[in-house]
Structure formats: structure tokens, C-alpha cells
Chain A
């Protein structure tokens, strides 16, 4: 920074006792200003005059990557269902307890705490609209949801492994008789 010698008062600059010094613009400050101006010119030229990508193109590139990753990671439902053992699921008390908690937090608002049905259908009766009452059907319902009917897809929100326990938990409602059940919907599946 400039030395004390620069600190000369400017003659005639006196406003209510305030005086001004004739120090030059600090060099580092000028360089900074200059560099930002050069950055601005190049940045603007690249995106708006030369062939820099538009924001739509940038998004499309990113989405392609994401979609490719999704495609590669897609599990086959049949494979999952074939590989599980429902007894084993049920015997893992800790995971089942967690499933119960998830149901309370994410599902009960529509299906009722005891699965008795409210906004969504009753899950304790033998009447099913989509799921046919089997493991694959319920798992699919949870994973894909019914976005048109007001239930979102949960496959990205609930952990993959946890979905299996949740399915088992939902199937566990069968045969319970909660208070205020919603009237049956769908077809009877024995």
C-alpha cells in the first residue's frame, strides 16, 4: 500500500471540517476491478456471442446422465420378490418396528393408523383395487403409487430394503378389525 508520503491534504477540500487526502487508487484494487471486467467480457462473449451452451442444453446434458444412471440401476421387481423370504422379514423385529413407524409417518394420513382407510382405501379387508393382496402387488403399489389418484410413488423416498419390510407390514393388516373401517373398495380376493 502507498506510503505515508502520499497522505497530502487536498487544498480547498474542507467540508464542515472534513478534509480529503490525495492518495491514488490502491493498485491491488485497480487490478481486481480490471480483472472482473475482463472476466465479464469473456463470460458474456462465451455464452451470448460464441457457442457457449444455453441453459436448456446444460440441463439436457445433466438429465441424460441422471437418466442413464437410473436405467442402469433399475431392479427387476420379479427378481426381488423371488429372492425374499417373508418369514425372515417378519422375524426381524427391529426392521418391522421401523416399518410401523414409516407407515405412521407417511401412510397413516391417508390409510389411517390401523390401515382402516380414510382418503386411501382400507388395507385390512380382503378387497383390493390394484394389489391383488399379494406381496408383489403391494410392493408395486408402494413403489409406483397411483399419482393420478392421489398417492405418490414412494420408490425414491423410502429406502429400497425398507420397502420390503413395509410391504410385509401392510400385509400384516389383513384380518385385523380396526374401529371405523372404510367401506370395501375393489374386488374380493380370498
Chain B
């Protein structure tokens, strides 16, 4: 045997990288959970906003979602993929250097998110809040990951790719497509940008992305992990190979279409909404295919469910997956959406998925991996079981309280009496009614965190008792790829063809994307109009950017749906034209506070001034945070010329003089508002420079802009 062969024989799997990702998962997980708890407390009692601008709810919520999705779930996915892919391919990861770049690059991205989000640098697009330099970094790191993964696949010693790998392939391809298309934006500063899409286009692209971030970041990779770790932990064969083929292809093909179910009853054209409904309903069975395969793999070993905490976590996770994927299609029925949308029911739905499915699957995987990688036994099975029960109690308390809150509030919003009037016309009444449930939710979150801390302790003891990490030897001698003796047919053949398989996956997700998005992007609906909406003035744009920075959209929608109770409460249903120049769109997804699409001129300037300083001075029982810094900070007039210039170049009809003098135009408008406020008693001789004036200018124009002649049409 040659020396070279000997070397090859003793090749080890790269488990260091796996362990790095694992510890990163736990580190960021705890942070994500604690930040989530802070957000929960802020809705229970406004004082938890601490009057600190970087810790108000509007900035904390994106921090929580990004940390939970990209830091906690993201690192966990990478840990699991790096660990299982090497074993399924029986080869070390392609490049140690790329693995390192991937790991550290991803942590750097998370750190930069953790810094920029609290500072208010945000695109306000949910789960895509990060600004353009970070977007570019994400793309680069993802490409590194993709190269590392696909080259490992290429080097594999196993002829066929196991189903877990199919899911990883679909994940890597789709996330890249989603991220790139949703992040096309024009920078207006080092950490500021406007998306190229506006209004309805932006809404559709964003929810195509947002929905599929759930699909391809929180579902497909986790299904892949499920397909590896459940059979391994239970030591049982997978229930049905046929089912795995059908549900894989059905899932990735159908999932991509379902985005519009986030925009039901809105101004989105009916045909797109209808597609969103029907594809969401069709998604039910393919999702359950995964659940069936996960749970029934345990057939003949049900007693493990009683005795083995790892199996407890994994199977409960899959059960939560089944629940969420039943509830999802249900919520996509237009009538159900009219009740649930904008309420805490959606928050319940999401957390059933994230805490239950993602969280528990990760915990199960970690309890399996750590003893295995450190070649020792888990320090305490009892503690792991305790973690399971405390965590489960936490999830159930969280889920049930938010479910009750959402449905209660949804019913209050829609109640109309015989006289044709709202039964609860006062919005804040529908908020104070559910605040007690916000406290209950915070209790649920606390339990979940306590469980996680118990796990950390358990893992620390486990590692302490071990002899340290030992990289496992590659299980078989690295000869040529195993060949089988007979010709493969059908899908089995495809499983041996990495490139073809990947291309087919791409086509599966590209079809739905193209059919839904291209018509909305290319049929330039707007140009057909003889009249277009008058764009926001430069000062109002400055105010709008403050609205985005503060994350007001996390509590306020700007989309009055085509529903009688929405119209009675907030006025005429929102139209497409009204947000046609909104970059990014601000339709929102949650109404913790009232819709603001037509709030303009509803109150005097002074009301807003006092309300922003302290909402409880004008509305008793409000849970909106105080924004005292808006009364001190100075508006950034300087950047307005550049901003208006970029907006004009994107097609917003600003006159050339407005672009050239954007800052002066804004200062003049600010002076008028400031004078009015001073006349009403505000004592501040520099008021016109303050951010609150720009914000008021914006708020007062919401729903007030007239239609004007379309100058583009005249050209």
C-alpha cells in the first residue's frame, strides 16, 4: 500500500467546525431568547422600553427575529449539515479554509446585525432588515458555504444522495435566490438604502421572501436534519422511501407559491391572493408527509419516547411541525385570515413552529451530538428530561396565551352591532383587554429560557467529564465511489446525479416564483394611470425614514383591508396607488397599535407631539413606547438631496427644483409646523430642526395625498 493511501485511510471528519457551530448556536440562542423575553415584557408593560432609543420595541423585535432565525437556527443548521453531510458522503468537508471562512464570516454578520439593528439601521423588511453592506456579506458567505457543500457532495464516496441531502440542496439554492432578489436596493449612505421595488411590488417580493424564509430556512433544512437524526437516535429505518420522494418534490414546488397568504384581503390583486390561498391549502399534505416519515420511523420503538429524552425532543418537534403546518393552511383561508391576520394568533402560530419545531429539534440534535462528538455519556438524562418538560410547558403557555389573545382581539375588532357600528370602536380598549395575556406569554418564555439554561449546565458537565473533542475517523477506506451492480432507474438514478438534481430543484422553485412575481413587476400597472399619487415632500421622506428607523411598522400597519370592520374603523380601504412610491412599503404585519394608513389630519400637531413624547399623556392605557429623543435629535436635512435624487431616479415624479433644493424645501415646511406647535404652547425655539417635526409632517400626510396628473405619461 502506498504512503498516500495510508494517509487517506486515516482521514478524519471535520468535527471541529461542527462543534464551533454548536457552541455558537447555544450562545446566540440564549441571547435570542432573552431579547425575545424583553420584547414580550415591553408589550406587557411599556416601562420595559426603558426610554432608551436602542432598546425600544421597534428595534428590539427585529433584533430578536434576526437572532432567533439567523443566529440560533442558522448556526444549528450549519452544525447539523456539516456533521451529517460528511457522514452521508463518507468524506471530510471539502475545504477546511472555507469552513473557517463560513463559520467566522457568519458570526461576523451576526455581530454586525446585533450592532446595527439597535442603532436603527434597518430596511424594515421583515427578516431582511439588515442594510446593504451586510446583505452583500451574507451573499458572499452563503456562496462560500455552497461551494464547500457542493464540492463535498461531489467528492462523496456514496453513490446515492440520502434524502437529508436533497433537503440541504434545496435549502442552499433557494435561500440564495430569495436573498438576492429581495435585497436589490440602491444605497443612499453607508448604512442606508431604498429598495428598487415600491409599494405593492415590494410587498409581494418581501412576502415571497418572508414566507419562504420560513420555508427554506426554518423548514427544509430542519426536515433534512430530522431525516438524519431521528433514524440515528432511534436506530430505526426511515418509514417510507416513496413518501420521502413525493413529499420532498411536492413541498419545494408548492411552498414557493404561498407567499401571498401574508397579504390576504389587502390591495394585492385578487388573482395573486387566490394563488396564495390555493397553494397554501395544497401545502398541507406535503408538509404532513414529512411529519409522518419522522414519527413513524419510531414504529416498533415507541418505548424510546418514554425513556430517551433525545427522542422526546425530536418527536415532539415533529409533532409541532405537524400542528403548525395544519394551522398555516387554515390561516390562509381568506375568512380565517380576516380574523387572525395582524393579531397575536400569528405570533402564536410562528412560535409553535420556532419554539416547538425548530427549538426542540435543535435541542434533540445537540443532546445527541455533544456526547457523541466528545465520546462520552450525557452527564444527566434526568436533567435533559426536566429540560424537556419545562420547555414544553413554556411552549404551551406561550402558544395558548397568544392564541387566546389573538382571537379575542380579532373578535373585538370585527364586532359590529345591529346599528351598523363597531362594538369596540376605541382601539386601545382591544389592547388593554389582552395585556394580561402578554404577562402569561412572558411566563412561557421564561420557562423556555430556564430549560435552555438547564441544558447549558448539563452540556458543560458532559464536556468537562470528557477527554475533549476527538474527530471521528472516516468510517470506510477512501476507495473509489461505491458502485452498485445493477442499473438505477427513475428517481434512484437522479439520486446519483448531484448536478441534475440541483438543477431540477432550482426549476421547481423558479416556476412558482416567476409566475407570481413577474406579472406584478413587469405589467407596469402604474404607468397606465392617468393620475398618480402625489409623492411625499422631502421633509415627509425624512419623517418616513425616522418611522422606519424606529420600527413603527412592528406595531402599526398601513393597509386598511377590504373588510367592513376595517373600513368602519380606519376609513376607505387602502388602494395600490396610495403606496405606489413607498420604498420600502409599510403595510406591516401586526396591529399592536391601530392602522395608520389614514391617520393624517386625524389629530392636531400638538396631539402627536405629546403622544410621541409620552403616549399615555393623550391615550390612557396605551402600551406604545415613549419617544422622548425625537424631541431632542436633529433631523438629517443634509442627506435629503441625495435621497430625493435616488427616489427620482427610481421613478418618483419630483420636480428638478425639489431635488436640487430638497433640504431647503424641507426646512421651510418644518418651520411652518414648528410655528404652529409653538403657537399651541410648545416651548422650543429650535423646534424646526427636531425629528419630531419631520415625523409629524409624515404622519399628517398619511392617506391625505391627492392624485395628480401622471407626468411620466405626458413625456
A, B from the same assembly:
yes
Task: List, in ascending order, chain B residues with CB within 8 A of A36's CB.
Answer: 281-282, 284-285, 329
With A and B bound together, what is the CA distance between A77 and B160 in angstroms?
A: 82
Q: Which of A1-33 contact B (CB under 8 A)?
A: 7, 9-10, 12-13, 15-26, 29, 32-33
A66 within 8 A of B: yes
Task: List, in ascending order, chain A residues with CB within 8 A of B231's CB.
Answer: 18-19
Which of A87-95, A126-134, A145-153, A169-177 contacts its partner?
Answer: A145-153
State whether A13 touches B265 (Cβ < 8 A).
no
With A and B bound together, what is the CA distance between A15 and B476 in angstroms?
A: 12
A189 within 8 A of B: no
A79 within 8 A of B: no
A51 within 8 A of B: no
Within the complex, the shortest CB–CB distance from A169 to chain B, in Å, comes to 17
With A and B bound together, what is the CA distance between A73 and B631 in angstroms?
A: 45
Within the complex, the shortest CB–CB distance from A1 to chain B, in Å, comes to 8
* 5 smallest beta-carbon distances between A and B, as pairs: A69-B420, A33-B285, A73-B419, A150-B604, A40-B278
With A and B bound together, what is the CA distance between A44 and B271 in angstroms?
A: 8
Which of B211-219, B235-243, B640-648, B658-666 contacts its partner?
Answer: B235-243
State whether A33 touches B281 (Cβ < 8 A).
no
Task: List, in ascending order, chain A residues with CB within 8 A of B420's CB.
Answer: 65-71, 73
Within the complex, the shortest CB–CB distance from A88 to chain B, in Å, comes to 24
User: What are some 23 contacts across the A-B interface (CB < 8 A)?
Assistant: A7-B300, A9-B237, A13-B160, A15-B88, A15-B158, A16-B88, A18-B228, A22-B240, A25-B240, A25-B246, A26-B243, A33-B286, A36-B282, A41-B278, A62-B564, A109-B607, A109-B619, A119-B606, A119-B607, A147-B602, A150-B602, A156-B421, A156-B422
CB closest residue in chain A, given B427: A157
B620 within 8 A of A: yes
State whether A22 touches B241 (Cβ < 8 A).
yes
With A and B bound together, what is the CA distance between A46 and B416 in angstroms?
A: 29
Within the complex, the shortest CB–CB distance from A14 to chain B, in Å, comes to 9
B279 within 8 A of A: yes
Q: Which of B412-435 contact A (CB under 8 A)?
A: 416, 418-422, 425-426
B277 within 8 A of A: yes
State whether B573 touches A59 (Cβ < 8 A).
yes
B469 within 8 A of A: no
State whether A47 touches B274 (Cβ < 8 A).
yes
Annotate B19-50 by CB proximity to A: 1 below 8 A, 0 otherwise. Answer: 00000000000000000000000000000000
With A and B bound together, what is the CA distance between A32 and B286 in angstroms?
A: 10
Within the complex, the shortest CB–CB distance from B307 to chain A, in Å, comes to 21
A161 within 8 A of B: no
State whether A16 touches B87 (Cβ < 8 A).
yes
Task: List, in ascending order, chain A residues with CB within 8 A of B282's CB.
Answer: 33, 36-37, 40
Task: List, in ascending order, chain B residues with CB within 8 A of A68's CB.
Answer: 420
Within the complex, the shortest CB–CB distance from B246 to chain A, in Å, comes to 6
A58 within 8 A of B: yes
CB closest residue in chain A, given B228: A18
Q: Which of A105-163 contact B (CB under 8 A)?
A: 105, 109-110, 118-119, 147-150, 152, 156-157
Task: List, in ascending order, chain A residues with CB within 8 A of B275's CB.
Answer: 44
Task: List, in ascending order, chain B residues with CB within 8 A of A33's CB.
Answer: 250, 282, 285-286
B562 within 8 A of A: yes
The interface on chain B, measured as residues whose beta carbon lies within 8 A of the other chain's beta carbons, has a size of: 70
List 15 additional A-B contacts (Cβ < 8 Å) besides A44-B274, A119-B680: A16-B475, A25-B240, A29-B243, A33-B250, A36-B329, A40-B278, A43-B274, A54-B270, A68-B420, A73-B420, A109-B617, A109-B618, A147-B601, A150-B602, A156-B421
State whether B681 touches A69 (Cβ < 8 A).
no
With A and B bound together, what is the CA distance between A36 and B282 in angstroms?
A: 5
A78 within 8 A of B: no
Task: List, in ascending order, chain B residues with CB within 8 A of A152's CB.
Answer: 602-603
Task: List, in ascending order, chain A residues with CB within 8 A of B278's CB.
Answer: 39-41, 43-44
A55 within 8 A of B: yes
Task: List, in ascending order, chain B residues with CB within 8 A of A23's CB.
Answer: 239-243, 296
State whether A63 touches B237 (Cβ < 8 A).
no
- Interchain CB contact (< 8 A) of B162 among A10, A18, A62, A149: A18
A56 within 8 A of B: yes
State whether A40 touches B279 (Cβ < 8 A).
yes
State whether B265 touches A17 (Cβ < 8 A).
no
Within the complex, the shortest CB–CB distance from B267 to chain A, in Å, comes to 9
- Interchain CB contact (< 8 A) of A21 among B160, B237, B273, B292: B237
A48 within 8 A of B: yes
CB closest residue in chain B, given A15: B162
CB closest residue in chain A, given B423: A156
Task: List, in ascending order, chain B residues with CB within 8 A of A73's CB.
Answer: 418-421
State whether B419 touches A25 (Cβ < 8 A).
no
State whether A40 touches B618 (Cβ < 8 A).
no
State whether A22 touches B242 (Cβ < 8 A).
yes
B511 within 8 A of A: no
State whether A148 touches B422 (Cβ < 8 A).
no
Q: Which of B220-243 contact A (CB under 8 A)?
A: 228, 231-232, 237-243
- Interchain CB contact (< 8 A) of B562 among A25, A26, A55, A147: A55
State whether A70 touches B274 (Cβ < 8 A).
no
State whether A55 touches B237 (Cβ < 8 A).
no
CB closest residue in chain A, given B283: A36
B703 within 8 A of A: no
Task: List, in ascending order, chain A residues with CB within 8 A of B493's CB.
Answer: none
B567 within 8 A of A: yes
Tell me whether A17 and B232 are in contact in the complex, defined as CB-CB below 8 angstroms, given that A9-B237, A25-B240, A73-B420 are known contacts. Answer: yes
State whether B238 touches A20 (Cβ < 8 A).
yes
With A and B bound together, what is the CA distance between A67 and B231 in angstroms?
A: 61
Within the complex, the shortest CB–CB distance from B250 to chain A, in Å, comes to 8
Within the complex, the shortest CB–CB distance from B102 to chain A, in Å, comes to 22
B610 within 8 A of A: yes
B288 within 8 A of A: yes
Within the complex, the shortest CB–CB distance from B34 to chain A, in Å, comes to 35
State whether A29 touches B289 (Cβ < 8 A).
yes
- Interchain CB contact (< 8 A) of B242 among A9, A24, A58, A65: A24
With A and B bound together, what is the CA distance between A96 and B292 in angstroms?
A: 63
State whether A69 touches B418 (Cβ < 8 A).
yes
State whether B601 touches A148 (Cβ < 8 A).
yes
Q: Which of B663-707 contact A (CB under 8 A)?
A: 680-681
With A and B bound together, what is the CA distance between A74 and B395 in angstroms?
A: 48
State whether A13 touches B241 (Cβ < 8 A).
yes
With A and B bound together, what is the CA distance between A118 and B605 in angstroms?
A: 12
State whether A32 touches B285 (Cβ < 8 A).
yes
Within the complex, the shortest CB–CB distance from B314 to chain A, in Å, comes to 14
CB closest residue in chain B, given A40: B278
State whether B241 touches A21 (Cβ < 8 A).
yes
B90 within 8 A of A: yes
State whether A29 touches B573 (Cβ < 8 A).
no
B510 within 8 A of A: no
Task: List, in ascending order, chain B residues with CB within 8 A of A43's CB.
Answer: 274, 277-278, 281
State whether A12 touches B484 (Cβ < 8 A).
yes
CB closest residue in chain B, given A149: B604
CB closest residue in chain A, given B618: A109
With A and B bound together, what is the CA distance between A12 and B241 in angstroms?
A: 12
**Which of B564, B567, B607 has most A Cβ within 10 Å?**
B564
